[in-house]
Structures are given as structure tokens and as C-alpha cells.
């Protein structure tokens, strides 16, 4: 992998990742841009203990621009964008409208009921391809391997920043998710706190260790693989939740899936984060992940049609162990990818209505076993 670091006109960092060693990137951002200023702060909810980020300056961010004004396409034909070069493979740059920033103003702890802190951290955009019409599922395995290299490199770099507690790599796809730029891309958040979901996972892992002496995530994966082996031996997959089983990775629908179609992809060897993957694990990932994304895009083919009417909207979220925090259970966490869609059937979305949004209590419209069965059915 070749890595070229440069600066945009307003001082933000931009990094090119190229598969070929020695690739030279010399294009200069010629735009007249004002320096980016982050006004973010984080406030602690005294009722739940969760941190909430307040970033009012993001109201003016770019919203559904036409294709010929896409800021994520390369700079070509006299039109400049966020990427100065006329072409690229994978590129990462600091978000122009960040939820968190290194220069965020300091918050203050007024009292136990009104605790605030500076919204320090970093928000980055990851462009997977220069092709405006392509999606992640259209990438080659070689390009996915380069994206994985970029995620890994950013995890290592961002984890080392002062005040960063958790690095979160993710992709949102589809207007239904709330994506405001159609060009295929993901994001990376370097957060100054441990996210609520991660904290809950750590608590469960600590309790499991206390009661069993074993690791929760290792037991979870072993149980799914054991049930899968029994189902294959019996020739009855009706209750099997494993979707894909490789040599180094396993994809399964969780027993208590929250979303109609939700798949968790785990390396078979528990590791803390992307930086700890072996070369063999890294080599197998692209093929398996592209297979999963392809299945998601074949989930909702309507009767009489051979292709899906529209791409499946999804969120793909990497869960990694936080750094710089010693609370119980964090060292028990396991790297894994959670992939899910907000679509429950063709033309219908799973809305987070009163019970989900109001009480954080999910009601799933599809049984996990039926979801796994459907995902196996749509394999090529």
C-alpha cells in the first residue's frame, strides 16, 4: 500500500491510498476556502449517563447535490472538488462539516446535572471509488482490500490521538438511511467517549466473565458454529442462523436481531480491532464481505422481476474495542462488523416508531432464522 498525505486549501488533511507502491500524487487544491471551525461540545445525559454530541454548525452541510457538483468525485474538466487529483483509488479526508473537531471550544462541568465537555475528536470521510455510480458491492476484491488497509491505518492513527477513546468506521448507504451524498463513501469517527452501545456490550461481557470465566463473544460465536454444524449434519437448516462460514470469518444473523435483516461478521479468532488481523484474515475478508453485500442487494426482488427495483439501504458498522479506558469488560470486546438494513420487505421500511425510539425496545418484523434462510437463498 502506498500512502500520500497532503492538505486541502483550508488546512484539512487528505490522504490517498494506492495499491501500487511508488504512486505519486501532486495535485494541489486550488479552491478558496475558509478554515473549518468546529463548534461541537458533548453533554452528558444525567439520566442515562450517555454522552450526546451537540454540533449545530452542521445544519449548513452539503445536501443532495446534483451529480455534476458531487464533492466526492475527482477534480476534472475544470471542476474542483474535495479530491484535488483527477483520479484516485481510495481517499480519506477530514470532514468539512465535522461533528467533532480538534479545535472544538471547551465545555464545562457546571454541576452533576449539567456536565459538558469539548467536542474534541476527528471526523473523516472515506471515498471507496472515483466512480460516482458505483457502490461498495461493485468494488473488486483488490479494492476492498485497499479499503480495509485504509480503515486499519486510520484506526491506528486516530487511536493514538489525545482524548480519543473509540474509533468507529462505518458506511451508510441509501437516502432511506439519511445519506446526503450519493457517491459511495463511508465515515470514521474518532470519539472522545465510549459509545453507549459499546459500554453496554462491555458490561455484558464483564458479567459473562464473572459468571462463567469465559469470554462472551468467543462463546457466542462457538454456539452459532456448533448449531450450524448440527444443522448441516442433520440436513435441516430451518433453525440455522449462519449465513456464511469461511476459514477465518463467520457471518450469522444474531439470535436476538433488532433489524429485519441483520448480519454480524466475526473473525473466528477474537481480536480487539482491525490492526490485530493477520494477513490470512485480511485476505479472506474482501470475498466474504462482497458476497454478503451482493445478497443484501438480492433480498427484495419482487415477483416477476429478476433484479431488485432499488439498491438495499444499509448501515455497515465496525465494532472495535476502545482505547485509553480501563472500565470492566472493555478488554473482553471482539472486533466484528454489523450489517443491517432498514427495509423489511420490498417497498416497505422498518420505522423506529414509539416503542423503539421512545424506549429503545426493538420489535423485529422478521424472525432471525427466516432472515438467515432468505440470505442463504439469495446466494449466487
b/e map 231-259, b = 16+ CB within 10 Å: beeeeeeeebbbbbbbebbbbbbbeebbb
Q: How far is CA 69 from CA 7, 157, 183, 320, in A?
A: 21, 31, 11, 35
**Interatomic CA distance for residues 367 and 365, integer angstroms:** 7
Residue whose cell numbers read 445536501: 63
Going through 276-319 in order, the beta strands assigned E by DSSP cover 314-319
**Interatomic CA distance for residues 197 and 164, integer angstroms:** 17
**Interatomic CA distance for residues 292 and 311, integer angstroms:** 14
Quick check: 211 and 219 in contact, CB under 8 A? no
Give the catalytic positions in this structure: 185
Q: Which residues pair with 76 in a beta bridge?
A: 79
Quick check: 365 and 351 in contact, CB under 8 A? no
Quick check: 135 and 143 in contact, CB under 8 A? no
**Interatomic CA distance for residues 319 and 322, integer angstroms:** 9
**Interatomic CA distance for residues 126 and 91, integer angstroms:** 6
HSE-CB for 97 with a 13 A CA cutoff: 12
DSSP conformation class of 37: -
Q: Is 83 helix (H, G, I), strand (E, B) or coil?
A: strand
Q: Which residues pair with 171 in a beta bridge?
A: 316
DSSP conformation class of 104: P
Residue whose cell numbers read 436481531: 257
Quick check: 192 and 100 in contact, CB under 8 A? yes
The alpha carbons of the chain give a radius of gyration, in whole angstroms, of: 21
Which uninterrupted H or E stretch holds 107? none
Amino acid at each position: 500500500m502506498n500512502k500520500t498525505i497532503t492538505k486541502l486549501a483550508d488546512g484539512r488533511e487528505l490522504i490517498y491510498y494506492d495499491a501500487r507502491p511508488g504512486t505519486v500524487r501532486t495535485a494541489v487544491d486550488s479552491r478558496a476556502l475558509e478554515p473549518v471551525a468546529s463548534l461541537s461540545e458533548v453533554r452528558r445525559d444525567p439520566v442515562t449517563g450517555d454522552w450526546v454530541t451537540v454540533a449545530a454548525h452542521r445544519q449548513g452541510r452539503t445536501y443532495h447535490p446534483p451529480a455534476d457538483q458531487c464533492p466526492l468525485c475527482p477534480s476534472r474538466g475544470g471542476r474542483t472538488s474535495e479530491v484535488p487529483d483527477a483520479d484516485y483509488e481510495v481517499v480519506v479526508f477530514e470532514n468539512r462539516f465535522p461533528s467533532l473537531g480538534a479545535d472544538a471550544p471547551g465545555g464545562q462541568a457546571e454541576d452533576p446535572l449539567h456536565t459538558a465537555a469539548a467536542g474534541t475528536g476527528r471526523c473523516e470521510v472515506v471515498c471507496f471509488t472515483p466512480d460516482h455510480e458505483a457502490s461498495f458491492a461493485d468494488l473488486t476484491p483488490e479494492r476492498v482490500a485497499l479499503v480495509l488497509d485504509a480503515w486499519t491505518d486510520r484506526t491506528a492513527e486516530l487511536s493514538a490521538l489525545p482524548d480519543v477513546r473509540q474509533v468507529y468506521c462505518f458506511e451508510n448507504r441509501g437516502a432511506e438511511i439519511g445519506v446526503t451524498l450519493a457517491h459511495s463513501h463511508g465515515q470514521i469517527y474518532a470519539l472522545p467517549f465510549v459509545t453507549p452501545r459499546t459500554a453496554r456490550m462491555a458490561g455484558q461481557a464483564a458479567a459473562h466473565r464473572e459468571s462463567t470465566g469465559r469470554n462472551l463473544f468467543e462463546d457466542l460465536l462457538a454456539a452459532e458454529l456448533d448449531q450450524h454444524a448440527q444443522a448441516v449434519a442433520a440436513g435441516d437448516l430451518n433453525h440455522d442462523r449462519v449465513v456464511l462460514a469461511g476459514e477465518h470469518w463467520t457471518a450469522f444473523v444474531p439470535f436476538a436481531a433488532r433489524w429485519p435483516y441483520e448480519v454480524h461478521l466475526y473473525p473466528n479468532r477474537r481480536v480487539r480491532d482491525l490492526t490485530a488481523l493477520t494477513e490470512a484474515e485480511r485476505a479472506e475478508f474482501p470475498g466474504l464481505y462482497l458476497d454478503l453485500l451482493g445478497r443484501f442487494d438480492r433480498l427484495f426482488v419482487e415477483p416477476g422481476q429478476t433484479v431488485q427495483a432499488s439498491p438495499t439501504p444499509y448501515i455497515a458498522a465496525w465494532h472495535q474495542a476502545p482505547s485509553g479506558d480501563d472500565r470492566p469488560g472493555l478488554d473482553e470486546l471482539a472486533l466484528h462488523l454489523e450489517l443491517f438494513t432498514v427495509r423489511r420487505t420490498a417497498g416497505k421500511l422498518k420505522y423506529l416508531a414509539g416503542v423503539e425510539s421512545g424506549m429503545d425496545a426493538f420489535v423485529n418484523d422478521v424472525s432471525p432464522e427466516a432472515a438467515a434462510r432468505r440470505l442463504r437463498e439469495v446466494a449466487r
